[in-house]
């Protein structure tokens, strides 16, 4: 039964890449330091992408809320 759960589990390819690299390095090595920093930068990049998309959706939504007002000219 435990084997079946392992087969059903899906791992993010980027996360797997970082986990595999971490297995190859020594905990106190410079490589490990750089790996940690690259993880942080990768997550910040994803966050900035998400923030940009949220902002574009909010702008699009605010534009949809504005309607033209008919003005009578005499």
- Give whole-number Cα distances, 53 to 11, 14, 27, 47, 48, in Å: 25, 21, 36, 10, 9
pLDDT of residue 30: 84
Q: Please, which pLDDT band fits residue 4 given cuts at 50, 70 and 90?
A: low
pLDDT digits (tens, 9 = 90+) for 6-35: 566 677 888 788 788 778 767 678 877 887
pLDDT at 3 over 60: no
- Give whole-number Cα distances, 17 to 9, 22, 25, 45, 47, in Å: 16, 9, 13, 17, 19
pLDDT digits (tens, 9 = 90+) for 60-73: 888 776 677 788 88
CA-nearest of 4, 49, 58 to 41 is 49
């Amino acid at each position: 039964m435990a084997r079946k759960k392992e087969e059903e589990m899906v791992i993010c390819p980027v996360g797997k890449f970082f986990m595999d690299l971490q297995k190859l390095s020594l905990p106190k090595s410079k490589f490990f330091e750089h790996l940690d920093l690259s993880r942080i930068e990768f997550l910040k990049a994803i966050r900035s992408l998400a923030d940009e998309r949220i902002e574009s959706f909010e702008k699009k939504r605010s534009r949809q809320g504005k309607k033209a007002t008919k003005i009578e000219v005499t």
